[in-house]
Amino acid sequence: GCVLVVSVIEQLAQWHNSTVKAAMERLCNYIPGKYQIIHHMLCCYCYREMNADVVCHSLKLCKQDPGQPLCHLYAPPKVSWFSTFFKATDCGSFTGFSSVCAFPLLANLCEKIKYVMRHKLPFEDFDGDKFSTFPTLRGYHWRGRDCNDKNTTVYPGRRPDNWDVKSDSNCNGIWGVDPKDGIPYEEKFCKGADSQGVVLLGDSAGAHFHIPPEWMTVMQMSAKSFANLPMAFTDELDWPQFSEITGFLNSTIGGWTDSLYLRLRRRNRCNHRDLQNISQNGITYFPTNTAVYLSFSLARSQLLDNPAIVIYATIGNDVCNGNRDTLAHMTTPKEMLSNVMQALRYLDSRLPKGSHVILTGLVDGRFLWDNLHDRYHPLGQLNRDITYSQIYSFLDCLQVSPCSGWLTPNETLRNLTSERALQLSNVLKEIARSEKFANFDIFYMDFPLRQTAEEWHKMGGEPWQLIEPVDGFHPSQIAAALGTRITWQKVLHEWPQVLGRENPFNDQIEAIFKDQGGH
């Protein structure tokens, strides 16, 4: 992080033909007030123009452990590292995330982030029903918006209470009685309509991890570039509101939004707000403590709630890690089988009867290196000096690579990683073929990367545009939207019972909404 920030400051100075100090002040002015910690981090950089790696080692944000290589993104300085560091020893040190949280203006926010990441629940949830009226901090960007945060029996996804004659108990906006015939609107429009929600249990791809490229592309940088920084930070750099499964807002990060939730809502307007994105950056497919993880996070009652379509998809983390001996840290087929079955048994104890579970196979991540390694990273576009291959090597050296097995010039290792991913996908495929559960049926589908690339090629696009530009690892907004279309077509043609019937009253519901001003 330090190397990236210092690099941006250096490039800002170059782009605006200014001093480094002026560039740092410019960047500070771009960033919303309470996030202006850069000045504290880089005080000595104003007076001593140094390589970004040298600055960060001098501040002790980067270090070289005994017996480990010296990790650097840029070419080493002409003089020795030792003498360069020695000259910078008066810069002080900055000891990492705990010190960031020591800043008074950030301390409270850090505590909120830690709570949210630990529990995967909305931070602001006054009635404790796992739904919120606040967007970020695991609020309604992640789950349907609560319509009464003072009543634990009112939340998205429940079956209506007495057909919602007096109030909207399931937050789908449909309640009251039609004065023409005395029939409750919920009964008239939603009875027998196969209402159901969508739940994603996933990883950072499902959460839709994204770092805006304009944050580090100085040619595009302005105060407007960082306007979304507070929201992004409090959503863990995830954008579930635009994601493939639970997206519901128009994308502001490029591409367009298309999601399984939006399509289910169009198919049946009674499904409004019934969504949950229970994804976590870095989670493996089915961790050994899955039951605990789900019991904390999943909001579904067999007695009170509608059925749900559960998409269980962590598309790479079981083979992706940042360890030097990456193969030894991959999930084995035996572990996969055990953990998946544990998770499915728990779901069978919680999901209402008539639910569906779709297991998604792992991606073939060789696509990443093949399409990005020789392209310039956003940080290297100004001087055409930093490729994705260099970024991957830098992260791998630091042992924080999102996937050492795929983001590597070692073709043999890339192939072995894909081989393990295929083995784990075959475990999921066999489970879907052979296992039966009381409260849901179960299906398997391959991750549709090949079909997505083919569809995008037909539209005139390039393969690299399907990958997040900053991290060079996650699916982009375009990939998410196209993936939705492909997934929907497959389910519609092969398992139409999963999607339920199309509600013939959708137009009437929308017409009443317009007449009543959207209420």
Distance CA(3)–CA(416), nearest Å, equals 31
Residue of 169, 204, 251, 279 marked active site: 204
**DSSP characters over 132-171:** -SSSSSSSTTTBPPPS-TT-TT--TTBPPGGGGSSS-SSS
Burial 432-462 (b: 16+ CB within 10 A, else e): beeeeeebbebbbbbbbbebbbebbeeeeee
Which residues sit opposite 357 in a β-bridge?
A: 310, 442
Stated as kind and residue range, the H or E segment containing 420 is helix 411-434
Asked if 58 is an active-site residue, the reply is: no
Q: 277 by DSSP, 3-state: which?
A: strand
Q: 507 by DSSP, 3-state: which?
A: helix
Distance CA(370)–CA(381), nearest Å, equals 19
35-43: which pairs have CB atoms within 8 A and are 24 or more residues apart?
A: 35/106, 35/229, 35/230, 35/233, 37/100, 37/103, 37/106, 38/5, 38/9, 40/94, 40/103, 41/2, 41/5, 41/94, 42/5, 42/6, 42/9, 43/91, 43/92
> What are 429's two structure tokens?
């495929």
> What are 352's two structure tokens?
């209402």
Active site residues: 204
